[in-house]
Chain A
Amino acid sequence: MNSNTTILDQVKKATLLFALLFASVSLANTKEEAQSGDLKTEIKEYIAHHLQDAYDFSLFSYTNEKGEHVYIGAPLPIILWDNGLKVFSSSKFHHGETVAEVDGNYYALYHNKIYRTDANGTINYDEEHHPTNAKPLDFSITKSVVSMFLVVVLMFVLFKKQAESYAKNGGLAGGVGRFLEPIVLYVRDDIARPNIGEKKYKKYINFLLTIFFFIWFLNLLGMTPLGVNVTGNIAVTFGLALLTFIITNVTGTKDYWLHIFDPLGSTMPWFAKLPLYIILIPIEVLGIFIKPFSLLIRLYANMQAGHIVLMSLIGLMFIFKSWIGSPLSFGLAFAISLIEILVAFLQAYIFTMLSALYFGFAAEEHEHH
């Protein structure tokens, strides 16, 4: 009887606690409903801004006592081709608040893109509200480019140290090399060798190792408060996938091409193959382009989605503003961050693994053709 009463008490307490928690979240939401409308828009804009590339390396910003918006970070060089080369600092834009005047031309930032304008920075629109101003060719060193340079330097230093450590320690890795060596061996023994084959993997291993560490380091850099989102930039993933596409097709053997243009080989006479090939060959030819396309979309979409989810969860803290909502959002954001660290590795692994698989197709040599 006593034990039954205790259980009943516990259930009642749990229900009461749940009701209190629910009420606190609901009340907090009702109170702040009016303000949260603006806040939600602000958070959405902040997330959109974070996902985009930038012309300066801003770390954070705050509003000072005078009500001015202060940005902490560094300006980056803007390089434009607009009837000649124009090079100037992004500080001229004052974070998009002013028009930059260079050699008598005026440029303004609109949705993080540079347009040529008049002295007042007027942007003209077409019927669909797209800017009609001239857009100069942009070769600027953006935040993403700086991040890539950083990763290149980091990789150079780390792997140089690793290489030196072998000489110093009599063929054994030392320092950071002890951490990197198992990963290098993993890429070689579990990605390159099984997919490309013992005979030809050495031809591709340099590229595979470079692409793996480059993507992994960039993904991890995206997890830091520096606010970079390089692998969530479709231009970057396009560039990486283009390299895989070029290497696959340039190194393709005759068997690779025969697999595309004569997939059935000598298994049946030509008149039987003809109707099948009318369907098969276009599919195989499309496959040449679809494979790298899937690589670029997979990496881009996964990293972009990860950033959006994480930033949205962090944004929830400011919307809930309650003793249960904010810690809950924080906990979720923390858990997702841990998953994102895994995703950072996983996406680098998948890109490398699939590149190796495509190289394996390209390097195949059969006896049956």
Chain B
Amino acid sequence: MDRRFFLGFILLFFLVGSGHYFLLTQQGLQPAALFFWECYLGNFFFALCLLWALNKAFDRMSHAIAWIYLFASGLKFVLFFLLLQPLFKADGVLSIAERFSFFVPYFTALILETAILINRLNKL
């Protein structure tokens, strides 16, 4: 992975996360109670795994990188659904703030992954 992309990836995640954290505290909500850290760290970790896989595929099986991206993005979504939804639903309510706790880092990671995929495809 290019260092530029990796740094951009960390920076964007940090900026989005900070903004999100700030907004939640401004609203008087407890980020920890909304599984904020679990969502951001989990998404960050899975996005890193996907980027590593894309990087490996670029060298060895370049024809399949789009498939790896599609499969991994889908798997990431399913995994989070299986792991986080029970936590969110433990109190019987799935609030909008809880939904945003998951979807904001998910889409941030997705946009970055897509940008890296496009970059890789253009270099093939």
Binding site for B on A (CB under 8 A): 249, 252, 254, 257-258, 260-262, 270, 274, 277-278, 281, 285, 369
Contact = CB atoms under 8 A, between A and B. Distances in A.
Interface size class of B (residues with CB under 8 A): 10 to 19
B66 interface: yes
23 contacts: A249-B67, A252-B66, A254-B62, A254-B121, A254-B124, A257-B65, A257-B66, A257-B121, A258-B118, A258-B121, A258-B122, A261-B66, A261-B114, A261-B117, A261-B121, A262-B118, A262-B121, A262-B122, A274-B111, A277-B114, A278-B111, A285-B70, A369-B122
A22 B32 CA distance: 80
A359 to B, nearest CB: 16
A260 B69 CA distance: 12
Q: Taking each of B62, B67, B111, B121, which has the highest tally of chain A beta carbons within 10 Å of its own beta carbon?
A: B121
Given A258-B122, A262-B122, A281 B66 contact: no
Contacts of B115: 270
Contacts of A281: 114
A252 B122 CA distance: 15
Contacts of A277: 114
Interface string B51-90: 0000000000010011100100000000000000000000
A270 B111 CA distance: 12
Q: Taking each of A258, A261, A262, which has the highest tally of chain B beta carbons within 10 Å of its own beta carbon?
A: A261
Contacts of A278: 111
Nearest to B110: A281
B81 to A, nearest CB: 18
A322 B65 CA distance: 68
- Tell me what chain B mostly uses at the interface: helix, strand, loop, or mixed: helix
Contacts of A262: 118, 121-122
- Going nearest first, the 4 A-B pairs with the smallest beta carbon separation are A257-B66, A254-B124, A262-B118, A258-B121
Given A249-B67, A258-B121, A261-B66, 11 more contacts: A252-B66, A254-B121, A257-B65, A258-B118, A258-B122, A260-B66, A261-B114, A261-B121, A262-B118, A262-B121, A274-B111
A254 B62 CA distance: 9
A262 B69 CA distance: 14
A278 B118 CA distance: 14
Contacts of B121: 254, 257-258, 261-262
Contacts of B122: 258, 262, 369
A369 B115 CA distance: 15
Contacts of A257: 65-66, 121
Contacts of B67: 249
Nearest to B120: A254
A249 B68 CA distance: 12
A252 B121 CA distance: 12
B11 to A, nearest CB: 15
A113 B109 CA distance: 46
Interface string B91-118: 0000000000000000000010011011
A281 B121 CA distance: 15
B51 to A, nearest CB: 15
A325 B86 CA distance: 64
